[in-house]
Amino acid sequence: MNNRSIIITIVVILLVIAGFNIAQTKEDESFSSYVDKDGKITRPTDFKEEWTFLGTWTLPDNEDDGMHIVYTQPGVIEEYRQNGGEFPDGAILIKEVRSIKSQAMTTGPKVIHAENQKLWFVMVKDEKNRFPDNPKWGDGWGWALYYADDPSKDVSTNYKKDCLGCHVPAKLTDFVYVEGYPVLKK
Amino acid sequence: MNNRSIIITIVVILLVIAGFNIAQTKEDESFSSYVDKDGKITRPTDFKEEWTFLGTWTLPDNEDDGMHIVYTQPGVIEEYRQNGGEFPDGAILIKEVRSIKSQAMTTGPKVIHAENQKLWFVMVKDEKNRFPDNPKWGDGWGWALYYADDPSKDVSTNYKKDCLGCHVPAKLTDFVYVEGYPVLKK
């Protein structure tokens, strides 16, 4: 192997590495790996181990669905703060709803913790109104609902019917009850 | 530059890269970046954005300290499962205690969310009984307590007095109330 062929080999290796990086960047720039070209939303499955906890809503008198636990992707909290309090395009909120158990503990006579998972609500921030003809998208978000007995199936049909009823009271904060997520404030 | 000098240059670059990796590995193998040589425990500060949520305990009738929110480091859940249900050496549990607010919402007449942070409990898993003479270490853990008015100061003095009272009932599960952390089960 002479000088020239060694140099050519090194240049080829560098170009291949650069090519991989460009391909990777392009993939990262797509809207969301959880949304297909028609706006179908796939439920995230790795959020409990990999994502960031936002906050909990506890309904102490509802054993069936008494703990609502909300997560978002890594980095979203920082972007939210930098954006002056707006969720970035592509941000996902997933709310896991679990049954609860109440018991006496050393900390108090009634202490509640989460038990079985029941369902998940998903919201995907969409600043560009990407799916105007899809009834699961609107008001700046994509909306989805999955039950634990078939956790990959979005059973929502129309966000205005299935989701807005509960979210309209939070319209002024982009339909999100941010007062339950004090971590958003720094 | 001839063949030999090009090859020598490449070998030197590879050795430097390998050296950095070895140094990095050695640093990662130290017990914990939150524990000094005498067993002093530093409170983690980036856990809300960077760590993994384990679970919540809600005390619906205690406005002052009604939400206990527990986090651990990234990867601990996976190691716990692989270890057959044991926290790995160096694992940290941090429990943030917050005041709560209760209100009527569309989901129910009494819905609770977290408000102001009050204090933090920290446990550091220590499989090797590293600090036998430090009264804040024992029973397989290091123990610490910090209040929000001076969040870098561990105000605990002796884990047997300050911590065990509440943790003894969970002795069979290594002093951790794992039933509140369903994410540990897969």
With beta carbons under 8 A apart, name residues in chain B contacting A52.
48-50, 53
ipTM: 0.83
Closest CA to A102 of B131, B91, B61, B165: B61
Q: Is the pLDDT of residue A29 over 70?
A: no
Residue A52 near chain B (CB below 8 Å):
yes
Give the separation between CA B118 and CA A107, rounded to whole angstroms: 15
Give the separation between CA B7 and CA A14, rounded to whole angstroms: 16
Name the residue in chain A with its Cα closest to that of B164: A106
> What's the confidence (pLDDT) of residue A6?
72
Instruction: Report CB contact under 8 Å: A107, B57.
Output: yes
3-state secondary structure chain B: CCHHHHHHHHHHHHHHHHHHHHHHHHHHCCCCCCECCCCCECCCCCHHHHCEEEEEEECCCCCCCCEEEEEECCCHHHHHHHCCCCCCCCCEEEEEEEEEEEEEECCEEEEEEEEEEEEEEEEEECCCCCCCCCCCEECCEEEEEEECCCCCCCCCCCHHHHCHHHHHHHHHHCCCCHHHCHHHCC
Q: Is the pLDDT of residue A27 over 60?
A: no
Q: Is the pLDDT of residue B67 over 70?
A: yes
Give the separation between CA B182 and CA A66, rounded to whole angstroms: 15
Residue A116 near chain B (CB below 8 Å):
yes
Q: Is the pLDDT of residue A31 over 60?
A: yes
With beta carbons under 8 A apart, name residues in chain B contacting A182.
98, 114-117
Q: Is the pLDDT of residue A30 over 50?
A: yes
> What's the confidence (pLDDT) of residue B5?
74
Instruction: Report CB contact under 8 Å: A56, B113.
Output: yes
Percent of chain B with pLDDT over 90: 83
Residue B45: CB partners within 8 Å, gap ≥ 6?
B151
Q: Is the pLDDT of residue A13 over 60?
A: yes
> What's the confidence (pLDDT) of residue B27?
42
Q: Is the pLDDT of residue A182 over 80?
A: yes
Q: Is the pLDDT of residue B78 over 80?
A: yes
With beta carbons under 8 A apart, name residues in chain A contacting B57.
105, 107, 111-113
CATH (one of 3.40.50.720, 3.30.470.10, 3.50.70.20, 3.30.70.3460) for A34-184: 3.50.70.20
> What pTM was computed for the model?
0.84
Average pLDDT along chain A: 91
What is the average per-residue pLDDT within B41-58? 97
What is the average per-residue pLDDT within A47-71? 97
With beta carbons under 8 A apart, name residues in chain A contacting B52.
48-50, 53
